[in-house]
Structure 1
């Protein structure tokens, strides 16, 4: 009977196939390509100077959209503002303002 217990333990360790079965090591934290860490987009509103006609907002929008990292731009002609959604890891607020300023429409970030 002693031998039977030893064989039972050996069978449990080796498994039914006769190979040693060990648990697989799994990393505590892994990311797939689709789960990569994504920096949140941010939204910033800019006060825009020198907008006097219906074509001005188009020029401002195109200038700001041309900056790498800018996702979208909405210009409000009446309020003289532009609201920009951007990736802060790819572009700075200063670079977005400079694009509008360089197109002839000085821009300054409003708020924090």
Structure 2
């Protein structure tokens, strides 16, 4: 029982250290006017774990930095889709 508790305590201490910030470029081809990036930035910024969002209308992309322990690329693209701007990882 003591070993189990010690293992759980170790996981609780180490797990937060394993989280890292990720930066991902998202392609957002549906932006058609200069106001679209404002909507996209607001949608992405509301996702828990997002620390930085740069949206470019000219490039039709968003560069998003986020904590991968709190969110995922799927949640980011879902937020864009819900705002009316489907997106995908830019390759």
Structure 1: where are the runs of 5+ without partners?
1-32
CA RMSD of aligned residues (A): 1.5
Write out per-residue CA displacement over residues 9-41 of structure 1, whole angstroms, 9 at most, x where no aligned residue. Answer: xxxxxxxxxxxxxxxxxxxxxxxx9xx726221
Q: Tell me which of 37, 59, 62 is aligned to 2:39.
A: 59
TM-aligned CA deviation for residue 99 of structure 1: 0.3
1:41 counterpart = 2:21 = yes
User: Which residue is equivalent to 2:48?
Assistant: 68
TM-score (norm 1): 0.64
Q: 1 or 2, which has the higher helix percentage?
A: 2
Structure with max Cα Rg: 1
User: Relative contact order (C-alpha < 8 Å, sep 6+): which is higher?
Assistant: 2
| SS, match of residue 17 in structure 2 | coil
Helix, strand or coil for the counterpart of 2:37? Answer: helix
Partner of 2:79: 99
Unaligned runs of 5+ in 2: 1-12
> Superposed, which structure 2 residues align to 1:1-40 within 5 Å?
37=17, 39-40=19-20
Aligned residue number for residue 66 of structure 2: 86
Q: Number of paired residues?
A: 77
